[in-house]
Amino acid sequence: MTEKLREQGSIPVSKVQRAAKFISTGAKVGGNYVKHYAKKMVNPSMNKEELHQNNATDIYNSLSELKGSALKVAQMMSMDKNLLPRAYQDKFTMAQYSAPPLSYPLVVKTFQKYFQKTPEQLFDFFSRTAKNAASIGQVHQARKDGKLLAVKIQYPGVADSVSSDLKLVRPFALRLLNMNERELDHYMEEVEERLLEETDYRLEVARSREISEACDHIPHLLFPRYYDALSSERIITMDWIEGKHIKEWMETKPSQTLKNQVGQALWDFYHHQVHHLKQVHADPHPGNFIVQEDGTLGIIDFGCVKVMPEEFYSGYFSLIKPGLTKNQEELDHIFYALDFISDQDTDQEKMYFKGVFTEMISLLGKPFHVDRFDFSKDAYFEEIFRLGDRISNDPMFKKSRQARGSKHGLYINRTYFGLYNLLNQLQAEVVTTKPAWLS
């Protein structure tokens, strides 16, 4: 996995070109399967790891050239670790870090459009190259009145291409995620809505401010300040937060106390959002968190925020109630409410899915059933992956005609998987607080 990211030559322009890109990837993936089975005939002991590896490389290369919403989908998939085999995950997590940069003249142009000034006129210093890539734009460093700032600039035309990009990704998602079409459309709508929100930088500033003010009391958290006068529909200016991404920070070998402190801050941050604000920073990928030397956790990028409807919230979190799995009647009630099962299912299907979901819940709810949970235990995550693999390969699961689970759950699941994963990366042991109404 050490190969360097390919330097971006050109970005496919029109929808036709984008489509062509996907088709060529599709062909390559097909080819990989052919290769796999050919090799397997010669060497029956070969496992599917290599095949997944090849597919992941091709798909990743293709997606990374289509900056914008396709990249976003790659990110989403990389978060849903339970759904994807290992090889895909490693590749897709790379997509979270790098994307082709905007040229500096375009950056200048964007500034002129919204402020009638060049970045040099607006700031005392403005970096010519991007310091970080964001999925739908990039981040430059700037200085004004002695303060270091981060300036996020959005790629032009992303908002317009969200819908058409998602249509292009659809056949891929079908194949990759082992879903049927109906099931997919059920979720695509939700994804499209979130993506469109993410292109609205005004909304992002408003939400960032709202959530960071509401979470202000949580210790060891740091939020950047946002500057309205230097922000617009396509540009966000905020404080530059010094520090390291979690992965790099871990390489400095911090003490266990410090790791727990960061982990706890992260947990408390999510706990407060989910149970008190009922809206949550639904993009817990490593690039959005910055750890400072003293173990303060900086949180940036509130592009993706999921607001939970009340009835979904109470249903979903009833699932973590201790001892719930033993109360069949209450469990059935929740399963119906969350669309896990419906009356269209046959009795056999109902039985099967109840079993599957109960198993999943008791596994994923584990951290909630104890006072402190040690997320550094890889065995726990292995267990989740194994369950995910087993279920997604089960013919009973594959042939189900129904969409399962409320669409609101999509981003909440993603948030929790992301949170678990970050805590695992941090090797942290945290006090897993529960909402008061559950006990």
Among 24, 27, 31, 160, binds another protein (CB under 8 A): 160
Among 57, 61, 98, 118, binds another protein (CB under 8 A): 118
Tell me the C-alpha distance between 363 and 61, whole Å: 34
Show the tokens assigned to 310.
Answer: 């009340």
Q: Does 201 bind another protein (CB under 8 A)?
A: no
Q: How far is the CB of 16 from another protein (least distance, A)?
A: 13
Q: Name the one range near another protein by CB under 8 A: 19-27, 96-104, 220-228, 258-266.
A: 96-104
Q: How far is the CB of 156 from another protein (least distance, A)?
A: 4
The size of the chain, in residues, is: 439
**Beta bridge mates, 290:** 298
Q: How many residues bind another protein (CB under 8 A)?
A: 23
Tell me the C-alpha distance between 130 and 403, whole Å: 41
**Cβ closest to another protein, residue 113 vs residue 131:** 113
**Cβ closest to another protein, residue 11 vs residue 214:** 11
**Cβ closest to another protein, residue 102 vs residue 304:** 102
Q: Does 326 bind another protein (CB under 8 A)?
A: no
**Cβ closest to another protein, residue 82 vs residue 110:** 110
Q: Name the one range near another protein by CB under 8 A: 107-115, 182-190, 312-320, 390-398.
A: 107-115
Q: 236-265 mask for another protein (x: CB under 8 A)? A: ------------------------------
Q: Which long-range contacts link 339-345 to residues 24+ away (Cβ below 8 Å)? A: 339/403, 339/404, 339/405, 339/406, 340/404, 340/405, 341/404, 342/402, 344/402, 345/402
Q: Does 106 bind another protein (CB under 8 A)?
A: yes
Q: Does 156 bind another protein (CB under 8 A)?
A: yes
Tell me the C-alpha distance between 268 and 233, whole Å: 31
Among 157, 219, 323, 395, binds another protein (CB under 8 A): 157
Among 105, 146, 323, 395, binds another protein (CB under 8 A): 105
Fill in the DSSP letter of residue 243. Answer: S
Going from the C-alpha of 157 to that of each of 17, 110, 164, 222, the distances in angstroms are 16, 12, 12, 32
Question: Which segments of 277-407 does DSSP mark as H helices, in order?
Answer: 310-318, 328-337, 347-364, 378-393, 395-398
Q: 6-45 mask for another protein (x: CB under 8 A)? A: ---xxxxx--------------------------------
Beta carbons of 223 and 299 less than 8 angstroms apart: yes
Q: 122-141 mask for another protein (x: CB under 8 A)? A: ------x-------------
Q: How far is the CB of 105 from another protein (least distance, A)?
A: 4
Q: Does 115 bind another protein (CB under 8 A)?
A: no
3-state SS, residue 383: helix
Show the tokens assigned to 327.
Answer: 């109360």
Q: How far is the CB of 98 from another protein (least distance, A)?
A: 17
Q: Does 155 bind another protein (CB under 8 A)?
A: yes
3-state SS, residue 35: helix
3-state SS, residue 290: strand
Q: Which long-range contacts link 91-95 to residues 24+ away (Cβ below 8 Å)? A: 91/1, 91/56, 91/57, 91/59, 91/60, 92/56, 92/60, 93/285, 93/286, 94/1, 94/5, 94/60, 94/64, 95/60, 95/63, 95/64, 95/71
Among 31, 33, 38, 112, binds another protein (CB under 8 A): 112
**Cβ closest to another protein, residue 120 vs residue 293:** 120
Would you give the distance in Å from CA 41 to the centre of its chain?
38
Question: Binding residues for another protein, per CB under 8 A?
Answer: 9-13, 102-106, 108-110, 112-113, 118, 120, 128, 155-157, 159-160
